[in-house]
């Protein structure tokens, strides 16, 4: 399976083989393209995907013992994401599949994140509860099997990754700010400032993160905190982690599934991984998260989903579209 990912600001390609698992994968991050604008510029993202994607497919085969002729199917991200960026991956993927006479498989980006932990050992078995935390989404999902997803809760405003990025921007940490903020937080005291744990004092599994960002903005404005950047970062990170753990506990209670999977870019966060693992241990819940390469956008997860759906007998016509907005719960089992 050749996998292609181009939904946002990463161009990625991967080769996945049923028995061997992941054979090779490459990720190119467009950070430098967007840095001076402080966020992703969709048109620039599309143009960069055009430049990078085809040469990267060549490099991918150069790195492996396989050639294009060995490809049994091509999986590409069809949504959700930036319309223009998705179109690049979709048109390259579909035309390549057509020229090789093999099926093309449109993949849901969030299903990729959701199943990314299956790329590593030990793999979580179905069913599991999943916390999907990325730059664009914050969701709790009940995963009964491949394509059997129930949305349990989601963010009513900013996604967690977005809250990290916006808060980091307020603190002058640049773009993308999530990883930078979390590095700074390592040097701070997570109890230094009392921030709220939004929407935890009432029942429900939805999230809200935009208020936390405002609380941090107020702390930054206070001159007395001028030298306390690390404490602010640590307190913000701790508030997010506590909130996510409280909601995960509720979600696990509601599904009754004995396994919890963390996925998406924010699942690379060390404090979140450590504290969620400790909580799981105390409750006898197995906690899984992808290795850090597979937390953020990559094509290995797209190729994996493509392979799982291909093996379940998927067929598709030659016409295609992309879906910039695509609820995960509209998927059905293959």
CA distance 248 to 246: 6
Under the binding rule (CB under 5 A), the answer on residue 134 touching Zn ion is yes
Q: Binding partner of residue 213 among ligand KG4, Zn ion, none, CB under 5 to 8 Å per kind? A: none
Instruction: Using CB under 6 A, pick the residue from 3, 93, 103, 264 that binds ligand KG4.
Output: 264
298 vs 113, 116, 230, CA distance in Å?
Answer: 9, 9, 30
Within 98-127, the residues that bind ligand KG4 by CB under 6 A are 113
Question: How far apart are CB 34 and ligand KG4 at their closest, in Å?
Answer: 12
Alpha helices in the chain (DSSP H): 31-35, 42-62, 83-100, 109-115, 160-170, 177-185, 210-221, 229-255, 270-283, 300-311
> Which lies closer to Zn ion via its Cβ, residue 134 or residue 229?
134
Under the binding rule (CB under 6 A), the answer on residue 326 touching ligand KG4 is no
Stretch that binds ligand KG4, among 142-150, 253-261, 266-274, 317-325 (CB under 6 A): 266-274
Under the binding rule (CB under 5 A), the answer on residue 165 touching Zn ion is no
Question: How far apart are CB 164 and ligand KG4 at their closest, in Å?
Answer: 4
Q: Quick check: 276 and 248 in contact, CB under 8 A?
A: yes
Within 144-163, the residues that bind Zn ion by CB under 5 A are none
Under the binding rule (CB under 5 A), the answer on residue 111 touching Zn ion is no
CA distance 110 to 133: 10
Under the binding rule (CB under 5 A), the answer on residue 237 touching Zn ion is no
Under the binding rule (CB under 5 A), the answer on residue 30 touching Zn ion is no
Question: How far apart are CB 116 and Zn ion at their closest, in Å?
Answer: 9
Burial of 214 (0-12, 13-18, 19+ CB in 10 A): exposed
Burial of 293 (0-12, 13-18, 19+ CB in 10 A): middle
CA distance 103 to 331: 19
Q: Binding partner of residue 179 among Zn ion, ligand KG4, none, CB under 5 to 8 Å per kind? A: ligand KG4
Residue showing tokens 């504290």: 275
DSSP class of residue 125 equals P
Q: Are strands 138-145 and 148-154 parallel, antiparallel or unpaired?
A: antiparallel
> Which lies closer to Zn ion via its Cβ, residue 111 or residue 297?
297
Under the binding rule (CB under 5 A), the answer on residue 298 touching Zn ion is no
Question: How far apart are CB 82 and ligand KG4 at their closest, in Å?
Answer: 11
Burial of 52 (0-12, 13-18, 19+ CB in 10 A): buried
Instruction: Using CB under 6 A, pick the residue from 13, 75, 212, 266 that binds ligand KG4.
Output: 266
Q: Binding partner of residue 165 among Zn ion, ligand KG4, none, CB under 5 to 8 Å per kind? A: ligand KG4
Angle between helices 177-185 and 270-283 (to 10 degrees): 70
> Which lies closer to ligand KG4 via its Cβ, residue 58 or residue 172?
172
- Token digits for 173? 């940490």
Question: How far apart are CB 253 and Zn ion at their closest, in Å?
Answer: 27
Under the binding rule (CB under 6 A), the answer on residue 179 touching ligand KG4 is yes
Under the binding rule (CB under 6 A), the answer on residue 209 touching ligand KG4 is no
- Burial code (b: 16+ CB inside 10 Å, e: under 16) for 135-168 equals bbbbbbbbbeebbebeebbbbeebbbbbbbbbbb
Q: Which residues bind ligand KG4 (CB under 6 A)?
A: 8, 113, 134-136, 161-162, 164-165, 176, 178-179, 182, 264-266, 268-269, 296-297
């Amino acid at each position: 399976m050749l996998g292609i990912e181009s939904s946002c600001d990463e161009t990625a390609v991967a080769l996945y083989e049923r028995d061997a698992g992941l054979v090779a994968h490459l990720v190119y991050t467009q950070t430098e393209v967007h840095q001076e604008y402080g966020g992703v510029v969709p048109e620039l993202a599309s143009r960069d995907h055009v430049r990078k994607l085809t040469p990267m497919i060549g490099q991918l085969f150069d790195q492996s013992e396989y050639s294009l002729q060995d490809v049994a199917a091509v999986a590409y991200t069809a949504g959700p994401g930036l319309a223009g960026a998705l179109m690049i991956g979709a048109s390259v993927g579909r035309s390549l599949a057509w020229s090789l006479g093999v099926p093309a498989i449109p993949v849901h980006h969030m299903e990729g994140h959701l199943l990314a932990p299956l790329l590593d050992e030990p793999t979580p078995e179905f069913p599991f509860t999943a916390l999907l935390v990325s730059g664009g989404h914050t969701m709790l999902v009940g995963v009964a099997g491949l394509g059997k997803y129930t949305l349990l809760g989601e963010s009513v405003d900013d996604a967690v990754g977005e809250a990290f990025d916006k808060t980091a921007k307020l603190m002058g940490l640049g773009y993308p700010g999530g990883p930078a903020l979390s590095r700074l937080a390592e040097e701070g005291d997570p109890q230094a400032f009392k921030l709220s744990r939004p929407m935890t004092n009432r029942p429900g599994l939805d999230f809200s993160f935009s208020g936390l960002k405002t609380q941090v903005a107020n702390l930054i404005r206070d001159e007395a905190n001028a030298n306390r950047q690390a404490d602010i970062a640590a307190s913000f990170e701790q508030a997010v982690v506590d909130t996510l753990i409280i909601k995960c506990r509720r979600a696990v209670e509601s599904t009754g599934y004995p396994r919890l999977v963390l996925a998406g870019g924010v699942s690379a966060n060390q404090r979140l991984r450590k504290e969620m693992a400790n909580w799981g241990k105390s409750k006898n819940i197995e906690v899984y998260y992808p290795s850090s390469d597979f937390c953020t956008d990559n094509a290995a997860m797209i190729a994996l989903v493509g392979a799982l759906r291909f093996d379940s007998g998927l067929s598709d016509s030659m016409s295609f579209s992309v879906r910039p907005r695509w609820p995960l719960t509209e998927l059905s089992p293959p």
